[in-house]
Amino acid sequence: MPKAYNTYHEPFIGGGALFFALGRPAALSDMNTRLIRTYQAIQTDVEAVIRILRTMPYDKEYYLRVRASNPETFHSSRPAWAPAGWNSGDGNTHC
């Protein structure tokens, strides 16, 4: 990392480890639109995201049901639901 810069630009945010470690202004991007929607939902209303995630069972059966479904149904009209479906079928898992 350079010692001096204005805004950090991250082309592939992924888990965001460097972004969170920097604690500075940043422009984040990623090819995974579900991941970006998740970050946007967290930025917009983290408490709503936490409430929604707490309602979800943490088990394999539930995970497989979510993975097999259409992820757009989770957040088309409710942005805070983005984390519920972002991992569906793209290799990202939480279980």
Q: DSSP character for 81? A: G
Sequence-distant (≥ 6) Cβ neighbours of residue 81 within 8 angstroms:
41, 52, 74, 75
Mean pLDDT to the nearest integer, 72-84: 60
| CB-CB contact of 38 with 82 (8 Å) | yes
Q: Which residue has the higher pLDDT, 80 or 5?
A: 5
Q: Which tokens is 89 given?
A: 């079928």
Per-residue pLDDT tens digits for 12-52: 888 888 888 888 888 888 888 878 888 888 888 889 888 88
Q: DSSP character for 54? A: H
| CB-CB contact of 16 with 30 (8 Å) | no
The rounded percent of the chain whose pLDDT value lies above 70 is 73
Mean pLDDT to the nearest integer, 55-68: 82
d(CA 12, CA 63): 25
**pLDDT score of 94 more than 60:** no
Which parts of the chain are beta strand (E)? 8-10, 26-28
pLDDT at 76: 54
